[in-house]
């Protein structure tokens, strides 16, 4: 079984806008580097290293983590999951919303990259 992703909403535009404002000195670092402890921890255990450095501090500790939401996946809603776990969650015909989030454990930068709906194919 393969997880089917649809309804993709990209947040790249908002991400670029935020970074542009930051580099122009219009937004303070504390405002955009505010990842909560649980998000940083989840990215370490469930995330994968990004193919590029952190856009704020240049650290290689930038990770991409999948965060799941939805009424149909019960207690798993609101937690970080691996691709394999998402496959398990949707295999009984359930639907989940998956947020792809990048998180830097060095400076705490975090931003939503995209949102998608996951179902079993």
Interaction between residue 56 and Zn ion (CB under 5 A)? yes
Q: Give Cα separations from 117 to 13, 29, 96, 120 (angstroms).
A: 20, 31, 6, 10
Interaction between residue 107 and Zn ion (CB under 5 A)? yes
Contact flags string 10-49 toward Zn ion, x per CB under 5 A? ----------------------------------------
Tokens read off for 23: 């580099």
- The least distance separating Zn ion from the CB of residue 77, rounded to whole angstroms, comes to 28
- The least distance separating Zn ion from the CB of residue 116, rounded to whole angstroms, comes to 25
Identity of the residue, 22 or 98, whose beta carbon is nearer to Zn ion in the bound complex: 22
Nearest to 34 by CA among 102, 109, 104: 109
Identity of the residue, 113 or 120, whose beta carbon is nearer to Zn ion in the bound complex: 113
Tokens read off for 108: 């705490």
Tell me how far apart the alpha carbons of residues 6 and 44 are, in angstroms, rounded to a whole number: 26
Strands (E), the chain: 3-10, 48-49, 62-69, 79-81, 96-104, 110-120
Interaction between residue 64 and Zn ion (CB under 5 A)? no
Interaction between residue 106 and Zn ion (CB under 5 A)? yes
Interaction between residue 73 and Zn ion (CB under 5 A)? no
- Residues lying near Zn ion in the complex (CB under 5 A) are found at 54, 56-57, 59, 104, 106-107, 109
């Amino acid at each position: 079984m393969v997880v089917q992703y649809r309804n993709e909403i990209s947040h790249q535009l908002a991400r670029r806008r935020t970074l542009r404002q930051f580099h122009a000195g219009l937004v303070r670092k504390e405002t955009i580097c505010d990842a909560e402890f649980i998000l940083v921890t989840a990215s370490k255990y469930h995330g994968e290293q990004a193919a590029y450095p952190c856009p704020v501090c240049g650290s290689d500790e930038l990770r991409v983590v999948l965060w799941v939401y939805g009424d149909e996946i019960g207690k798993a809603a609101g937690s970080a999951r691996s691709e394999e776990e998402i496959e398990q969650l949707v295999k009984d015909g359930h639907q989940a919303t998956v947020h792809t989030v990048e998180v830097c454990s060095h400076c705490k930068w975090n931003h939503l990259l995209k949102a998608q709906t996951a179902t079993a194919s």
